[in-house]
Each structure stands twice: as structure tokens, then as C-alpha cells.
Amino acid sequence: MRAFGYCRVSTEQQADEGVSLEAQQAKIAAWCMVNDIELDTVFVDAGISGKRADNRPELQKALIAACKAKSVLVVYSLSRLARSTRDTLMIAERLDKAGADLVSLSEKIDTTSASGKMMFRMLAVLAEFERDQISERTTSAMRHKQSKQERVGEVPYGYDLGADGVMLIPNAEQQEAIGLINALHQAGMSLRAIAAELNTRSVPSKKGGEWIHTAISRILKRRSVAA
């Protein structure tokens, strides 16, 4: 039996112990050796987000190779393979229809058996549930910081950064512009029309350039979150 490996790291994770490309490749090679399986090619997507499967070229090559050879696709963990239940199950179904299998080392999943397939589906759902919880906690924390007028990412329009590097201090001139933006929006003007109006009135933008509709959208969204 032949096997193909797939590894992925995003830019932020390349230095993380245990999920580096080298670590993933070593574990895949070791598994193949222990199970007396010939490791053909290890495909690598470096510095690419795992949110979707269709924008990772090396994953697509790995899937094509495994399906064509009716072999095994080996990954270090499901998190390296996909970041949603939908993508993960689609990949598994694609391999299954082609007569190929999936092995995930961290979760000890091997779809060559019925029990392995069942465990795979359960873990995929649980993994997405955990990510959703993390996302909810992150969103809640950001809203809490915004409600306390603390910095979250870039300093937003309408504020200056305090001397402590954390608190946001209202900028009177920009706050007045925000009031105008809200009034124009409530009057039914489109985002592009509001941007054009601000440019006509020579209202300074955050970085001194011309106003564009996306900047207006960010200001209105921040106001709705703060409310």
C-alpha cells in the first residue's frame, strides 16, 4: 500500500513546537515506516490559512494523488486538513468514493475501518464546536474592551490612543464627523454618497486621504457594536 502525506502551517504557526512542517513530516514518515507503508510524496502548503480547502493548491494535489492511486492520505491532525466540519467531511467523502482512505495521527483516526469512520465524523463535529466556542469568547472579549473604551487592534476613527497605550481618548473633531456620518446614514444616504459628502466638505479622514465607502462602513459597524 502507498501513502501520500499532507502538511500545512500558517505564518503564525510555523514556529510553534509540535506543528512545524518538519515535525508533521517526521510523524507522517514514522507512521508509514511502522505500518510498512510506502510513503510516496508529502505535499506542503506553507503560510496558508486552513479556513477553506479549495484555496490550498498542495492539498488539492494530495487529494488527486491519493484518489488516483486509491491509497491513504496521512495528516498530522484534522486541524492541518481543514477548519470546518463541512470541508473535512467533503474531503473524507471524496477519498471514500475514490476508494482511498484518510489517517489523522493526532486523533488516531483510520478510515480503513468502520469504527474509524464513525470516530472521524464525531471528532470533526467536536473540533468545529470547540472552534466556535473560542470564536464566541474572543468576540465577547473584544466587545467588552470596546465598551470600556479600550484599544482593540487599530485605533479607530474618532479616538486617539492614550498615554498608557490602552485607553482610547475621544477626538472632538472626529467625533463631530462621526455624528455627521450617522445623521447622513439615518437620512438614507448610501455609504458612497456619505463618503462623497465628507470629501466635498473637506472633512479629514483618519490618515488624511479621501473618504471611501469601506471606511464609512467600519465606523457605522463599530457604532452598532458599541451600542
Helix (H/G/I), strand (E/B), else coil: 16 = coil
Answer whether 73's CB lies under 8 Å from 3's CB.
Answer: yes
SS3 label, residue 40 = strand
Helix (H, G, I), strand (E, B) or coil at 8: strand
Pairing assessment for the beta strands 168-170 and 159-161 based on DSSP bridges: antiparallel
Which whole-number Å values give the CA distances from 215 to 141, 173, 176, in the listed order? 23, 17, 16
Q: Does residue 78 sit in helix, strand or coil?
A: helix
Q: Which residues are identified as catalytic?
A: 10
User: How many residues are listed for the chain in this entry?
Assistant: 227
